[in-house]
Structure 1
Amino acid sequence: MTSALLVGAVALALIPHLAWLARASRNRASAALAAEEASVHAVIKDAANVSDGTAGVVTWTGSWNDRRVQARTIVDTLATRKLPARWLSVSITEKVAVSGTLDMMMRPGSPTTFSNFDHLDHTVPKAAGFPSEAVLRTDRKGVRFPLDVIASHLDIFAEGRAKELLITPNGVRIVWLLAEAERARYGVFRQADFGNARLDPLLIERLLLSASALRDAINQNERQAA
């Protein structure tokens, strides 16, 4: 009887503590989201949060330099990864003068949650100027892309944190590695803790500039060839 009463008392004492931990976790998440929205708004002034509730994914859309754009953060916890990763996806969602999808993935060793790269059937031979660790694929065999133009706009991939370049008729996207989970905490608790990794407005703008310049170059090349 005494043991049962003791267990009951401990359980009752734990309930308020667990509720406090849950509230604290929600408050931290809300504060982190507010900080990241402020970073996005610093670059995309009219950004609206259009997230659909997918766990680990937050999406904003808006306009930048009179172009429709999208910024998205993605937490990738696929079991095939050694460590969970947090990605930043930045897109210019305007028309591009290409007739198919071209997806360049750096070091494509495992599936990702942010890309359909693994579902593209056709490999595209690389032209001079492409990173040695890049693999190119497309959805349509025989489609020609201005690879020389694209190769001249890949400086951002030299740093090792840019993961993917996606070019479609509807836009250009660059995916960037924000952070990997802390190894020790993930190894013990299986919790994806990314420390103090936050969105940097300068990074968002830099990726937008890179994607926008590439789109302009492709469209200009098409106009000159016409």
Structure 2
Amino acid sequence: MSEVTSALLAGAIVLALVLHLAWQARASRNRASTALAVEQDRIRTVIADAANVSDGTAGVITWEGSWSGLRVQLRTIVDTLATRKLPARWLSISITEPVAVPGTFDMMMRPGSPTTFSNFDHLDHTLPKSSAFPTEAVLRTDRRGVHFPLETIAGHLGIFSEGRAKELLITPKGVRIVWLLAEAERARYGVFRQAEFGDATLDPALIERLLVSVSALRDAINKSERQAA
């Protein structure tokens, strides 16, 4: 084989590889766009005016809208931190309305490693907890010596018994629950280091259920604080 023929063959191989990679990238973008449209339709069955307000952060999609007269936010987060055994996809559900608490209350389940969705590790003060709280929960706040309605909060944690709720955040500006949607497929991630989550997607029933949960907790806190005043 002549040098010219070898060079032409090598060039053809490189061109074919470039075209294949470009096709893969385009196919991946098309799949992502289709999946996003499907999820937005599902979100809008619960939050009719949900608008995509994402800021371009990789792996994070954010919607905002209203539900039962309350301002709400829904966010999906792909967490690929190296400290995790497998990448995870989280669902964050928030009601962004005032709550009668004096500071930040953060309950994290099994806080063994940092996360991309929470400032829990930056809160300086650990709160004591009663047996009414989950055994694997750790409570923290940003202010020492503040009072939180712990009995009221503990009475609204039934959803944490299922093992998929990860965080409960309560601040004067709202209430948030973070839920584990799925972990990446182990085989594909182990071989290709690609975070694929199979057919795991947003379930309108789950969105509604989490909204009901955070709304009931917010109402209970505000009612208890009004009665204490």
TM-score bucket of the superposed structures, by smaller chain: over 0.9
Q: Which residue of 1 aligns with 2:56?
A: 53
Shift, 1:165, TM fit: 0.1
1:136 counterpart = 2:145: no
Q: Which residue of 1 aligns with 2:187?
A: 184
Shift, 1:97, TM fit: 0.4
1:126 counterpart = 2:151: no
8 Å contact from structure 1 (residues 128, 148) kept in 2: no
Given candidates 4, 7, 10, the residue that maps to 1:4 is 7
Shift, 1:9, TM fit: 1.5
C-alpha distance in 2 between matches for 1:178 and 1:88: 6
Q: Which residue of 2 aligns with 1:206?
A: 209
Shift, 1:140, TM fit: 0.1
8 Å contact from structure 1 (residues 128, 151) kept in 2: no
AA paired with 2:115?
Answer: T
C-alpha distance in 2 between matches for 1:63 and 1:202: 16
SS in 2 for 1:82: coil
AA paired with 2:50?
Answer: A
Shift, 1:43, TM fit: 0.6
8 Å contact from structure 1 (residues 46, 62) kept in 2: yes
C-alpha distance in 2 between matches for 1:197 and 1:208: 20
C-alpha distance in 1 between matches for 2:188 and 2:103: 42
1:162 counterpart = 2:165: yes
Residue segments in structure 2 that go unaligned for 5+ positions in a row:
none
TM-score under structure 2 normalisation? Answer: 0.97
AA paired with 2:185?
Answer: E
Identity %: 79
C-alpha distance in 2 between matches for 1:13 and 1:62: 46
User: In the TM superposition, what are the counterparts of 1:1-226 in structure 2 within 5 Å?
Assistant: 1=3, 2-226=5-229
RMSD: 0.8
AA paired with 1:21?
Answer: Q
AA paired with 1:4?
Answer: A
Residue segments in structure 1 that go unaligned for 5+ positions in a row:
none
SS in 2 for 1:44: coil
Shift, 1:153, TM fit: 0.2
